[in-house]
Structure 1
Amino acid sequence: MYNTAIRGPLIKGDKTIHQITEEICQPIDRRPGYWWYFVFLLCLGALIYGGWAVYITVHEGIGTWGLNNSVTWGWCIINFVWWIGIGHAGTAFSIFLLVLEQKWRTSINRAAELMTVVAVICAVHFPILHIGRLWDGFFILPYPNTRGPLWLNFNSPLFWDVLAICTYFMASSLFWYVGMIPDLATIRDRTTSKIKRAIYGFLCFGWIGSSRDWFRYEKLSWIIGGLTAALVVSVHSIVAMDFATSVLPGWHTTIFPPYFVVGAILSGFAMVLTLMIIIRKVYKLNDYITDSHLNAICKILVFISLIMGTAYSTELFMAWYSNNEYEMFTFFHNRVTGEYNTAFWIMLISNAILPQLFWFKKIRKKLAIVFIISLCINIGMWFERYVIVITSLTKDYFPSNWADYRPTTVEVGLFTGTFGFFVLCILLFFKYLPMISLYEVKGVSKYKSN
């Protein structure tokens, strides 16, 4: 069994290859409990609420939102950036740890990659709805047309968003799906249903586990992983440019691209930690998702949180050091002590202060506290996007343009619907596909047969 002097064994128990397959595939073979159906119906209700909000938005227009002439970006853009940030962690987690040859990723990478794909799907529909007239969305794409020299603005960060997010979604989906092919073949071979065997056989592309299959698999995984690793940094940097290329106080700053990337990794890793604790508890996978795995994620969160705290301090310092009255008003009078001080302090405490508790080993061993802190980080990262978007728009250079922003039930419904869709996809995935990579876990376990 793969073991280190620092973390100990990655898989607990003296398990055989057969035991690993049976225990990880247990949710697929058995009928789910009542809790599964309860959460499924709850998420389905949230999804229906979101569908109603989409219908109202398309039928009535974005006038049903809380936007006005000053605040043209509201909850939709906040949630877009938040979901994109969560979508970064799965790929970053899996690929960077793969490159660094960190074996403890084996029990976590599958769920993290799924989280990436679903989160990006949740994020994409917000800017599409924000167009207002959905049928005009194709004008964003540089397709051949009959309008002569009339093309879209290739220098616009909004166009960069379309290319970056579409490319990232395709690369992440491929990386996630390719990683499941050996496990799909395992499920195909052990199932007794002819229909399921045909479905899983089709999905695994006739995988037989030959040396040629493994050679092509490993080569393709590294190629897709290398391409996606660059996209992890570029996509959220481009999202940050949506704000940084503006001249509004609080937005026009060069720190935004790295600031957004680090924030995305923080929110995503916190969501991975939240998801792993729930999976470990509900499916009783303590032998596979061990304290060592959760302890390692907590240590990463401490490091990323320190960078976020440095970024917050840098923003405040530069606003004071520049002696720009508009920047000072935005940061100190509008955020720190003004109307939005509650959101600012929730952001600061949740993202920069609470994660520092992970310095203490006693805290890292208490899963209840770890779970609460991970939830607080996710909430704090949402408030960070709220502070960035709303505070600069509600109060810009001209007091005559100042306006308040209050989200409507339609905007709340859109966010609730995406959250329901997110949890619903995870529930269905864990019911029909292995939540932990079988072949990778077997690779770090003791090769022992019956």
Structure 2
Amino acid sequence: MEKALKIPDEQIIADLLPRKFGKTGQLWVGLLMCICLLGVYAYYRQLRYGLGVTAMRDYVSWGLYISNFVFFVAISLVGSLITAILRLANVKWSTPLTRIAEMIAIAAIMFAALIIIIDMGRPERLLNVFVHGRIQSPIIWDVVVITTYFFISFLLLYLPLLPDIKILLSSPSAATRPFQKLYRVMGSFWKGTYAQTLISDKAINILCITIIPVAFGIHTVTSWLFATTFRPGWDSTNFGAYFISGAFLAGSGAVVVAMFVVRKAYQMDDYITDDHFDKMGKIVVLLALVYLYFNISEYLLPAFKMKEDEEAHLKELFVGDWAVKFWTTILVSMILPMLLLLFKSGRKPLPMFIAGIMIVTGAWFKRYIIVVPSMLHPFLPMHDVPLSYKSYFPSWEEWAIACGSLAGGMLVITLLVRIFPIVPIHETMVEKKAN
């Protein structure tokens, strides 16, 4: 941020205002929309013909959809890490990253909720979760905590945006004109007075404190959906910490990828600097070490006790049909990024981007490996069932819907970047004056 602090206010505003998409941006939006439309068509087929169009059966009843759900929930945790924890710790260098993190969190939590509705098969029964929800069930806890987390994340995106909306309303830039009516609806009341600023700062601090236990709660409760289900590989008291540590790593990887893309696309080298990548790289190394520790703990104890059912599950992961996927995922999502980022040269933007891609991709496959192999190894042996029940590979409809949801999340982030400043304008100018 050192370079940015030397830039005049007028130049900061000009640099950070939302911009129209160029040809590359238009192609990107068009590609995402096509993938989303394919997902919508696949979901239409699922609604028309039922969940029979998927490869899920009595044993593997949680497949690609639940893997996607856990992945989205994991990515969403980055909002609490970047916005809340670093803000409360008064870490000033994270300012350019807070809005990126919140946009990712909002998009991720939206599609986490959507993918659960898709997995239900009968979306009209969603109301029953609220009408007939049982407090004894982790499912109702998950619904409550996801809803709470979404609204807190929305407010953490919206409140710091108000001073920037005032700037957007006074901007003559052609890039912001199509959204002037939206800006007026969202923030015409904001005058930037001392009283308004004081209330906003207090509210943001309260939300930052509140979102941390809620964020920990959402991942703990999600882990309990697995841990309270009687399957090998899930019978663990370690699952809550295991999920939280993995979510921090996956979310940080997503922010690193977004940092690189935004910096390249909008020439923001003065605002998202090499120093930001260096500091984020150190955080990612720490998170990878923590997640690796919980992975070792998660698999070492069952391997030590080696109960019969756990033995079959672990052998399948370590040396069986899932071994290549399992070890590749561990290598790609944790070990290789950690080794790359240990060196200062590896914490430059391009190596960081590569590490971020590896972490996010590995995080998705890690969730798939958590879900599917355990479902294929029930405690009660599979007898007198069709051969298709003993294996699972997602149908094209499942892939289309899963890819459509991922594309939808990226589309939401892309549109938010088009409408709002991706780097906070007002906070950047305030920090310049403070220095």
Correspondence 1:20 to 2:2 = no
Q: Which residue does the alignment assign to 2:149?
A: 168
Sequence identity, in percent?
A: 27
Secondary structure (helix, strand or coil) at the match of 2:414 reads helix
Q: Does 1:258 align with 2:250?
A: no
Aligned equivalents of 1:63 and 1:195: distance in 2? Answer: 44
1:70 partnered with 2:59: yes
Q: Is 1:134 paired with 2:123? A: yes
Aligned to 1:34: 23
Does residue 430 of structure 2 align to residue 443 of structure 1? Answer: yes
CA distance in 1, matches of 2:80, 2:140: 23
Question: Could you say which residue in structure 1 is the equivalent of 2:366?
Answer: 384
> Would you say the 8 A contact 2:107–2:410 is kept in 1?
no
| Partner deviation per Cα, 1:387-427 (whole Å, 9 max, x = no partner) | 11111111222442571001011111111111221222222
Q: Choose 84-93 or 285-294, whichever is displaced more.
A: 84-93
Give the superposition deviation at 1:302. Answer: 0.5
Contact 2:138 2:224 in 1 (8 A): yes
Whether the aligned pair in 1 keeps the contact of 2:69 and 2:115 (CA below 8 Å) is: yes
2:5 and 2:431 in contact (8 A); partners too: no
Q: How does 1:396-415 map to 2 (within 5 A)?
A: 396-400=378-382, 403-415=390-402
Alignment of 1:80 onto 2:69: yes
- Deviating runs (4+, > 6 A) in structure 1? 192-195
Which residue number in structure 1 is paired with residue 386 of structure 2?
none
Verify the 8 A CA contact 1:273 1:371 in the aligned structure 2: yes
Judge conservation of contact 1:271–1:374 (CA < 8 Å) in 2.
yes
Supply the AA of the counterpart residue of 2:71.
W
Q: Name the counterpart of 1:420.
A: 407
Shift of 1:51: 0.8
Pick from 303, 314, 325: which aligns with 2:308?
A: 325
Structure 2 distance, partners of 1:195, 1:398, is 60
Q: Is the 8 A contact 2:256 2:277 kept in 1?
A: yes
Alpha-carbon displacement from aligned partner over 1:285-319 (angstroms, at most 9, x marks no partner): 00000011111111111111111111121122201
The answer on whether the counterparts of 2:164 and 2:426 sit within 8 Å (CA) in structure 1 is yes
Instruction: For 1:97-112, list aligned pairs within 5 A.
Output: 97-112=86-101
Match of 1:334, SS?
A: helix
How far the C-alpha of 1:320 sits from its partner, in A, is: 2.3
| 2-structure distance, mates of 1:360, 1:196 | 44
In 2, the alpha carbon distance for the partners of 1:363 and 1:280 equals: 18
Deviation of 1:56 after TM superposition, in Å, equals 1.2
| Deviations, residues 185-224 of structure 1 (Å, cap 9, x unaligned) | 1111223788754432221141111111111110111122
Structure 1 residue 447: Cα displacement: 6.6
| Distance (Å, rounded) in 1 between the aligned partners of 2:230 and 2:56 | 20
Contact 2:102–2:153 (CA under 8 A) maintained in structure 1? yes
| 1:158 match | 139
Q: Distance in 2 between matches of 1:132 and 1:199?
A: 35
Where structure 2 has 5 or more consecutive residues not aligned to the other structure, the ranges are: 384-388
CA RMSD of aligned residues (A): 1.8
User: Secondary structure at the residue paired with 2:77?
Assistant: helix
Give the structure 2 partner of residue 148 of structure 1: none
Does the Cα contact within 8 Å between 2:232 and 2:377 map onto a contact in 1? Answer: no
> Are the structure 2 counterparts of residues 12 and 196 from structure 1 closer, same or farther at C-alpha, using a change threshold of 3 Å?
closer
Shift of 1:446: 4.2
In structure 1, stretches of 5+ residues that fail to align are 1-8, 144-150
Contact 1:309 1:351 in 2 (8 A): no
> 1:393 & 1:301 partners in 2: Cα distance?
31
The whole-number CA distance in structure 2 between the counterparts of 1:198 and 1:351 is: 43
Most deviating of 423-432 and 58-67: 423-432
The one-letter code sitting in structure 1 at the alignment partner of 2:161 is: M
Task: After TM superposition, give the deviation of residue 102 of structure 1 in Å.
Answer: 0.3
In 1, Cα distance between equivalents of 2:426 and 2:310: 53
Q: Is the 8 A contact 2:179 2:419 kept in 1?
A: no
Structure 2 counterpart of 1:191, from 155, 172, 186: 172
Distance 1:196 1:360, change over 3 A: closer
In the alignment, residue 133 of structure 1 is paired with which amino acid? R
Deviations 1:67-91, CA, capped at 9 Å, x for gaps: 1111110000000000111111123
Counterpart Cα distance in 2 of 1:109 and 1:92 = 9
Q: C-alpha distance in 2, partners of 1:431/1:126?
A: 25
Report whether the alignment pairs 1:267 with 2:250: yes
Count residues with an aligned counterpart. 427
Q: 2:104 aligns with which of 88, 99, 115?
A: 115
Query: Counterpart in 1 of 2:193?
Result: 210
Q: Indicate conservation of the 8 Å contact 2:376/2:391, yes or no.
A: yes
Give the match for residue 279 of structure 2: 296
Q: Quick check: 1:250–1:392 contact (8 Å CA) kept in 2?
A: yes
Determine the structure 2 residue equivalent to 1:230. 213
Aligned to 1:146: none
Matched, 1:200 2:176: no
Residues 318-371 of structure 1: CA distance to partner in whole angstroms, max 9, x if unpaired? 01222312212212x110111111221122102331122211111112x32221
